[in-house]
Amino acid sequence: MKVVLAGDLDPPEWEAWRTALAAALPEGVWLSADEGRREDPPVTAAVVANPPPGSLAGLPGLRLIQSLWAGVDRLLGDPTLPAGVPIARMVDPAMSAAMAETALWATLALHRGFFAYQLRQREGVWRVHTQRRADEVPVLVLGRGAMGNQVAATLRRQGYPVAPWGRDGGPLPPLLAAAEVVINLLPLTPATRGLLDARFFAAMRARSALVNLGRGAHVVDDDLLAALDAGHVRHAVLDVFHAEPLPASHRFWQHRRVTMLPHAAALTDPRSAAAVVASNLRALRDGRPIAHLVDRVRGY
C-alpha cells in the first residue's frame, strides 16, 4: 500500500515515524509528496503532520488524509487542501494519558501553591500557605473529546470535583464562576477561536487559574494579560500560543503569574499512534469505516 508522508517534522522525527509505521503496516510503502505525485496508479492515502500548504495538491487518487496531530485546525486552514477527501484526526491513547499527566501536574501545582513556592524560593522567602484538600478545589474542563474526558477522569480519581463542558453544554458563565481551575482542551474552530476573552475572564471566579492545553488562538492574549495583571486570574499555565515558538518579546515569557511549556503537554507517540494509523489505512484498503473522521464544517 503506497502512502504519502508530508509535514513539518524534522528528519529524526520522520525516522521514528517511518520505523514505527513500517512495523505497524509492513505492506506500506512510504513516499514523499513529490514521489507520490509521480505514482501510477495514484497514491490513495496521505499521513500528515501539519503539512505546508499545497503539499497535498496534485494527488488525484487521495481517499484518506490521516493526521498525526490531534488538532486539525492548521490542516483545515490550508485553502489548497483537496476538497471532499475524508480527514481523520489522531486519537492516541498514549497522547491522552500524557495530557492527563500534564493536567494533573498543573492542577496539583495550582491547588497546593507549588508555583508560588517556586517564586518564594527565588525571593529567599520561607512562608507556608494553608493546605486544602483536593475536594475543595473545583475544576472545569472545557472539551469533551478523548483528551478532555481522560483529563476529567484522572482529576476525579485524584479527588477533584470536575465539571466538564463541551460545545453543546449550555451556558459557560455559571461554570466559570464555580471553578477554581479552568482547563482548556477544546478544538480550535471558528466557534471557539478567541473564546477566552475579557468576558470569559471576567466570568471566572476571582483568583482562579487557567490551564490552556488547547490552542493559542483560543485566547485573546491582551485580555489574559490584563486579567493576570489585575490578579483576577491568579496564574496561567500555557502550553500553546498564537505564534510558536513564542516571540522573545512576548510578555508571557517573563510574567510572574505565567508558567509556560513549549507545546509539549502531550506529543503524539509514534510507538502507539502508528497502530492507530495502520488500523485506519487497513480500513481504507478493506472498505471498512474510518475512525475519528473530521467534520470539515464543524472544524474537528
Task: Please choose, out of 64-72, 195-203, 216-224, 227-235, the segment that lies near ligand GLV by the rule CB under 6 A.
Answer: 64-72
Omega before 245 cis (within 30°)? yes
- Count of residues in contact with ligand GLV, rule CB under 6 A: 5
Question: Residue 108 has which C-alpha cell?
Answer: 496539583
Which of 298, 297, 294 is CA-nearest to residue 72?
A: 294
Distance CA 78, CA 285 (A): 26
Residue 26 CA to its chain's centroid (Å): 30
Distance CA 62, CA 77 (A): 18
By CB under 6 A, the residues from 249 to 278 that bind ligand GLV are 268
Q: What phi and psi values does residue 135 have, to the nearest 5 degrees?
A: -70, -5
**Closest approach of ligand GLV to the CB of residue 215, in Å:** 7
Scored b (16 or more CB within 10 A) or e, 85-100 reads bebbbbebebbbebbb
Closest to ligand GLV by CB, 44 or 268: 268
**Closest approach of ligand GLV to the CB of residue 70, in Å:** 4
Is residue 215 part of the annotated active site? The answer reads yes
Rg, the chain, Cα only: 21
Out of 263, 282, 285, 296, the active site residue is 263
**Closest approach of ligand GLV to the CB of residue 20, in Å:** 16
- Residue closest to ligand GLV when measured from CB atoms: 71
**Closest approach of ligand GLV to the CB of residue 71, in Å:** 3
Residue 17 lies near ligand GLV (rule: CB under 6 A): no
**CA distances from residue 219 to 104, 118, 132 in whole angstroms, order as listed:** 21, 26, 29
Is residue 251 part of the annotated active site? The answer reads no
Out of 89, 205, 215, 218, the active site residue is 215
Closest to ligand GLV by CB, 49 or 56: 49
Which of 264, 74, 265, 91 is CA-nearest to residue 188?
A: 74
By CB under 6 A, the residues from 68 to 127 that bind ligand GLV are 69-71, 90
**Closest approach of ligand GLV to the CB of residue 214, in Å:** 8
Residues identified as active-site:
215, 263
Interface ranges with ligand GLV (CB under 6 A): 69-71, 90, 268
